[in-house]
Amino acid sequence: MNNFTVLYYMDPIKRQEKSFIPTKYGEFDMYAYAAHAQEKMPHLALSSRSLDITDSVYLRIHSECITGDLFSSQRCDCGEQLDESLRIVQQKNGLLIYLRQEGRGIGIINKMKAYNHQDEGLDTIDANTKLGFKSDERQYDHAITIIKDLGISSIRLITNNPEKINSFVNSGIEVIERIPLIIEANSVNRSYLDTKKNLMGHLMQE
């Protein structure tokens, strides 16, 4: 079931294009990374125009979440994390990498199926495993490729997820510091955030 996902994310990527993107957070350079120039869903990197690769770079690796990032879903904290990350990255002259691995790597259709299972009483982990997936199918090899392509060797990682920190072991990229990204729970996603903290080991405290 998951072979396509694994093969897609392990396919070699390279920089395909760069452009200037003014946003409500400030001005960024946006890079597109994919195996070929015809790829319609490349990974993206938004870099502060004042990025200094000689210093430890503030870095957020954000996995795509259409429901949270685009439609402001209250079922997760992804959209709010993206907003806060862009503010930090702009303020600290850092970098945000946007990986196209929707739904922790299972895709939007399967994520919707998982939501339906959650509405029946399963938590986010059990909903994924019921569909035949691991609790988290994401990989970070492509983020490391992007970081190295931009000449960065030292980072301050904006994350609550210990798996992101672990992904840099033996990568040649030094994690100087972890920057917490704490979003206040709402009445809808409190159980989801508790599961991330208590069962998935996310570091949900300052």
Give mean pLDDT, residues 167-172.
93
Mean pLDDT for the chain overall:
88
pLDDT value at position 104?
87
Angle at 204 between CA 46 and CA 142, to 5 degrees: 35
pLDDT value at position 155?
97
pLDDT value at position 11?
74
Q: Which of 1-10, 32-41, 42-51 has the lowest mean pLDDT?
A: 1-10
Give mean pLDDT, residues 58-86.
94
- Is pLDDT of 7 > 90? no
Question: pTM for the full model?
Answer: 0.87
136 is catalytic: yes
Secondary structure letter of residue 93 according to DSSP: T
pLDDT value at position 186?
76
The model's pLDDT over 100-159, given as tens digits with 9 standing for 90+, comes to 999 889 999 999 999 999 899 988 889 999 999 988 888 999 999 999 999 999 999 999
Confidence of residue 8 (pLDDT cuts 50, 70, 90): very low
83 is catalytic: no
* Better-scored residue on pLDDT, 7 or 140: 140
Report helix angle 141-149 to 3-10, nearest 10: 10
What is the spatial order of strands in the sheet that 154-158 belongs to? Answer: 14-23, 26-34, 43-48, 95-99, 57-63, 154-158, 174-179
CA-atom Rg of the chain in angstroms: 17
- Is pLDDT of 202 > 70? no
pLDDT value at position 149?
97
pLDDT value at position 9?
46
* Domains defined along the chain, listed by start: 13-101+138-198 (3.40.50.10990)
Question: Which of 69, 77, 123, 136 is labelled catalytic?
Answer: 136
69, 79 contact by CB (below 8 A): yes
Question: Which of 60, 104, 138, 156 is labelled catalytic?
Answer: 138
Give mean pLDDT, residues 174-181.
93
